[in-house]
Amino acid sequence: MKAIETHDLTKFYHKKRAIEGVNLTVEEGELFGFIGPNGAGKSTTIKLLLNFIYASRGSATVLGKDIVKQSAEIKKMVGYVPSEVRYYPQMTANDIIGFAAKFHNIDQAQVQMKRYYEMFDIDPHKHFGDMSLGNKKKVAIVAGLITKPKLLILDEPTNGLDPLMQHHLFKEMTRQNQEDGMTIFLSSHNLREIQEYSTRAAFIRGGEIVALENIADQEMSGKVIVLKGQALPVTELVNAGAKVVETTENSARLTFDGNVQTVLPILGAEGIKDLSITNQELEDKFMTLYEGGKAK
């Protein structure tokens, strides 16, 4: 059974496209990254999966259940942390997290809640309306974790969190992923996080999936070529299939997905004073897909 599976998932608002033809498969027990800039369609995809909004066409299943017909069953098995956290302002952290635990019939909930309060430095008696952005996000994260979901969906979870809290979050996520088999769907702008923790990652741009990378097996496609010097052979490399990430007067950064042997003769150009060829990382892939090679 797949944790998430979509087929031609599409959403239009009137005539404006939010996402179109999204086909994704997330395996059970996977920690899957979902990457894209603001407005790319990440949150729309998540809202469709949770049946908060309805698709214009296409279909999807979550944990083997139809996202529309079996939405109530899905919500019993899924934890969700939105990018923007909203609860009733008069509720305390203890109210919010305790309600989530009670709804899901969590055994020894008070013990687990106390553990999370200490882990994330949460004041259980503070009202939500009086909390900072970071503390609001911590409450939402614990409300998601306390239910021990089969699938945890996180939309920009580290926004507002300091580095220590980010460390605690990913330590707990990976523990539950490895020990309990919890599937994690992580939508984030933080490419380092996704590269460090995810098994695979999908890139979405303009509402369409434009790339899928296998991170766990270090199968990131392509190389990064960095050149320094004068009269650099950028045009020749582009003609050979390379893509420009960034150029300055005396340097260039490019990505190349082909056989590196084909560009080695070009890299012997006299104007090159220094060069490096490394494996492509998520940040390089992101810049190539979204930045389009801006020259400075």
Q: In the chain, what are the domains?
A: 2-214 (3.40.50.300), 223-295 (3.30.70)
SS3 54: coil
Tens digits of pLDDT across the chain (296 residues): 899 999 999 999 988 999 999 999 999 999 999 998 888 899 999 999 999 999 999 999 999 999 999 999 999 999 999 989 999 999 999 999 999 999 899 988 999 999 999 999 999 999 999 999 999 999 999 999 999 999 999 999 988 899 999 999 999 999 999 999 999 999 987 787 888 889 899 999 999 999 888 876 655 567 889 999 999 999 999 999 998 888 998 999 988 888 889 999 999 999 999 999 987 776 666 666 666 544 33
Residue 235 neighbours by CB under 8 Å, 6+ apart: none
pLDDT tens track for 281-295:
766 666 666 665 443
Question: Which long-range CB contacts under 8 A does 9-13 form with residues at least 24 apart?
Answer: 9/45, 9/48, 9/55, 9/58, 9/59, 9/60, 10/55, 10/56, 10/57, 10/58, 11/44, 11/48, 11/53, 11/55, 11/56, 12/56
Decide: 236 and 279 in contact? Cβ < 8 Å: no
Residue 221: per-residue pLDDT: 62
pLDDT tens track for 219-241:
556 788 999 999 999 999 999 99
The pair phi, psi for residue 162, each rounded to 5°, is -75, 165
Decide: pTM greater than 0.75.
yes
Task: Pull the structure tokens for residue 110.
Answer: 């008070």
Residue 293: per-residue pLDDT: 44
Q: What Å distances lie between residue 269 and 232, 255, 266, 272, CA to CA? A: 8, 18, 6, 6
Residue 287: per-residue pLDDT: 66
SS3 223: strand
- What CA–CA distance (Å, rounded) separates 194 from 162? 17
Task: Pull the structure tokens for residue 96.
Answer: 């919010």
- What CA–CA distance (Å, rounded) separates 117 from 241? 53
DSSP 139-207: HHHHHHHTT--SEEEEESTTTT--HHHHHHHHHHHHHHHHHH--EEEEE-S-HHHHHHH-SEEEEEETT
